[in-house]
Amino acid sequence: MNVGPISGASVDARRRGGRKLAALALGVMLAVTACGGGGTGSGSGPDDGKAEDSTAAQSKQSEAVIGIAPKDGAESVKTSGALKVDATKGKLTEVVVKDPDGERVDGEISGDGAHWTPSTHLAASTKYTVHAVAKDSAGRTAAEDSGFTTLTPKNTFVGTFTPEDGSKVGVGMPFSLRFTRGITHPEDVEKAIRITTEPAVEVEGHWFGNDRLDFRPEKYWKAGTKVTVDLDLDGVEGRPGVYGEQTKTVSFTIGRSQVSVVDAKKLTMKVERDGKVVKTIPVTTGAPGTETWNGHMVISERLAVTRMNGETVGFGGEYDIKDVPHAMRLSTSGTFIHGNYWGGGAFGNYNASHGCIGLRDTRGGWDKTAPGSWFFANSMIGDVVVVKNSNDATIAPDNGLNGWNMSWEKWKK
């Protein structure tokens, strides 16, 4: 029968065909494996994508290096000279230093972009944050953040000042500060005081000794000027180990202009209001041997009634008047312009005082038309009284608020 052989031949054929397919499949697998193996050996296999990404990321990283001093987390940092930001292999483009309230510290990036330094001191006992950005030559940016806390001073100073905040004063009023400790770093203290005016006028400071600093313009203030003083003394090292503790804004306004000119020979005082004489008053000034100072004097204190005792100003027991009316101080040494009820016929006729300027008045000041009462009612702190033709010297600029007796050139020095 033909059925068997035919069947056997068919099975053989199928076996040979299966072996060929298996060999072909194996050849394909070997080819694939060979390609894969070759890729692994050259770094272009499945891990190669990661290697390329890593190389690209590294090539994109900025070469700029930012340095911030003091180091991150530093404490008890000095308020001046310690904060610095630098960049190498690049230029600084932004530096932001803030206190906890978000107030920025002013500073400046150097022209070459290598350094940033603050333009002012830091406050004491304050935590600051620093954010700095720099770019390398390829324009790639780098950033750095840091934080530190400034020192807490063991010794401090403050400045007491005149005039008071919110006051209205005369055209001769300087802004005067007296410090509770002697200052040995005057430039740092003066730098921390900023004065702005409306309308704008140049204002300069002058030191009297090491504990007093006065500010004024070249000439009397213009009537109506608004003056604002920013005291940023917190953290200023006024002397080694002694730091300021004030941050305060003081504002005052200049009132109408009043300058009264006393002629010690003619024994008169002409009261000038806004440049016009509004009243001429007979006066008595210092007698021979106790003459009144010449010069520009600023009213610094007003007292409706006060006691004047010669012992307090070097005249022993020559006088002790317990109820001097309408007294206004012109000097620290004891010069006043005041009402006088005991002078008799001296006013306008002869000089009889111990150096003060006397105006006729009544005991108790009850007569509002008396010259002493009128002048008191029409004067304010900061008004100017100018004395001329006295046989005494010109009053010292630091004897009271009387810096107007110093030339502008000397004042600025």
Predicted local confidence at residue 48, as pLDDT: 47
Catalytic residue chosen out of the listed positions 296, 326, 354, 356: 356
Predicted local confidence at residue 365, as pLDDT: 95
Predicted local confidence at residue 42, as pLDDT: 35
Catalytic residue chosen out of the listed positions 206, 296, 338, 354: 338
- Say whether 338 is catalytic: yes
* CATH 2.60.40.3710 residue spans of the chain: 155-254
* CATH 2.40.440.10 residue spans of the chain: 258-412
> Tens place of pLDDT for every residue, the chain, 413 residues?
333 433 334 334 343 444 443 333 333 333 333 333 333 333 334 444 444 444 344 448 999 999 999 999 999 999 999 999 999 999 999 999 999 999 999 999 999 999 999 999 999 999 999 999 999 999 999 999 999 999 999 999 999 999 999 999 999 999 999 999 999 999 999 999 999 999 999 999 999 999 999 999 999 999 999 999 999 999 999 999 999 999 999 999 999 999 999 999 999 999 999 999 999 999 999 999 999 999 999 999 999 999 998 777 777 777 789 999 999 999 999 999 999 999 999 999 999 999 999 999 999 999 999 999 999 999 999 999 999 999 999 999 999 999 999 999 999 98
**What's the predicted TM-score (pTM) here?**
0.82
Predicted local confidence at residue 220, as pLDDT: 98
What are the E-state strand segments in 255-356?
Answer: 258-263, 268-273, 276-284, 295-298, 301-309, 320-329, 336-340
Q: Exposure string (b/e) for 114-125, b if CB count within 10 Å is 16 or more?
A: ebbebebbbbbe
Predicted local confidence at residue 392, as pLDDT: 96
Alpha-carbon span 357 to 360, nearest angstrom: 10
Best CA proximity match to 129, nearest among 152, 150, 155 = 150
* CATH 2.60.40.3780 residue spans of the chain: 65-150
Q: Are 238 and 183 in contact, with CB atoms under 8 Å apart?
A: yes
CATH topology for the 155-254 domain? Immunoglobulin-like (2.60.40)
Question: Class assignment of domain 258-412?
Answer: mainly beta
Predicted local confidence at residue 26, as pLDDT: 35
CA atoms within 13 Å, Cβ hemisphere of 52: 7
Alpha-carbon span 32 to 133, nearest angstrom: 51
Predicted local confidence at residue 312, as pLDDT: 74
212-216 vs 175-179, strand pairing mode: antiparallel
Kindly indicate whether the domain formed by 65-150 is annotated with CATH number 2.60.40.3780: yes
